[in-house]
Amino acid sequence: ELKVEQNPLFLSMQEGKNYTIYCNYSTTSDRLYWYRQDPGKSLESLFVLLSNGAVKQEGRLMASLDTKARLSTLHITAAVHDLSATYFCAVDIHTRGGSNYKLTFGKGTLLTVNP
Amino acid sequence: NAGVMQNPRHLVRRRGQEARLRCSPMKGHSHVYWYRQLPEEGLKFMVYLQKENIIDESGMPKERFSAEFPKEGPSILRIQQVVRGDSAAYFCASAPSLVSNEQFFGPGTRLTVL
């Protein structure tokens, strides 16, 4: 059974600081996703990482993937209050026929950025 | 192009009643997935459907839960005889194909069982 672990689960940081959220998964996967969820809202797709060494950046967020270590990171640079949300990583696995679906999610990291 | 639509957005039921949750995928998407999110948890896969077919229901509880995606109309997640433990947010996602990079999520239905 695929397991996806995020840490930390809670992160309180000050504006202007940098921090990294880690996502470890337990079995081979081709794709890793990062989502953002605001309270009471749906999931907003942030990044899709498709290959080893992939790095993507959008604004103050940068995500990377190391498939050999089964590790993805989400790095926050110079945090601002608007980044406060819960961040999820998710992984999908090969199933019959080589198809991927069935996302397995981490428990999420609740990020609070304080002024 | 409208996104994934779910209704109702909020649903309150008493124990023993039935809950019906609806999901209309994005235009051109024929693959639908249902996930459940319990408080303070990540999303858990429930079922994957294509038009008129259930492909994988390995995440569905064995009793009281069923799902369908008819040829015409939205996908329906049905929960019979709801219990308090069914209270959660239920999200639907759709994708255009099996090998699509991404699933697009709807706004969710928040079910409260009194």
Write out chain B's pLDDT in tens, 114 residues.
578 999 999 999 999 999 999 999 999 888 999 999 988 788 999 999 998 899 899 999 999 999 999 999 999 999 999 999 999 999 999 988 766 667 899 999 999 999
Interface test with B, best of A42, A94, A99 (most B CBs within 10 A): A42
pLDDT score for A29: 74
Interface test with A, best of B29, B30, B34, B45 (most A CBs within 10 A): B45
Identify the bridge partners of residue A89 per DSSP, sorted by sequence position. Answer: A34
pLDDT score for A55: 92
pLDDT score for B99: 63
Q: Are A13 and A75 in contact (CB under 8 A)?
A: no
**Which residues of B are less than 8 Å from A43 in CB distance?**
43, 91, 105
**In sequence order, which residues have a C-beta less than 8 Å from that of residue B108 and are 6 or more positions away?**
A41, A42, B6, B9, B37, B89, B90, B91, B92
